[in-house]
Amino acid sequence: MKCRFVPLNVSRIGICVLALLVGGCSSDLAMFKADWNWWSKKDASAPAAPAVQTIGPESFVSPDGACAAPTTEGVYGVSLGMSECQLVQLAGPTHQIDIGTNERGERTAVITYPTGDRAGIYRFTSGTLVSIEAAPAPAPPKPTKPAPRRHKPKPPRS
């Protein structure tokens, strides 16, 4: 039985390739822009600004761990962008608070919880939580050496 090889018409392949290329050019070229969003409306002229919470001095924690005014809004979990007092309200007081300023003159605070459900190192800039790190693991206990075995004295041979 002989296999018959049917040569393909090169012009048909060329037309198909050209049709695919032209069809691809008719799509919306806006998706190649850096600020294009899949979920934005077509008529949106400017991207929506993210909601920014303004943090004032009343939301700062003092070096002893106290807040100037208790926060009244419900806080359900730790998240970036929350205030120092919201964290203390949620995780409880701690004695490891370092307050200072950065190179731009902004207030910085590092609140550390070494143990507990929310153990970690929380870094704040201008009263806003900017990073969360895992708490350092406690040093493992040193293994104790077993007591040396005492050999039973052998009975004398007779």
Extract the residue ranges of the chain whose pLDDT is less than 70. Answer: 1-10, 16, 19-54, 69-75, 158
pTM: 0.53
Domain count, the chain: 1
Q: Is 102 part of any domain?
A: yes
Strand partners, 124: 109, 129
Secondary structure (3-state) at 83: strand
CATH of the domain at 129: 3.30.1450
Domain range spanning residue 97? Answer: 75-134
pLDDT of residue 103: 93
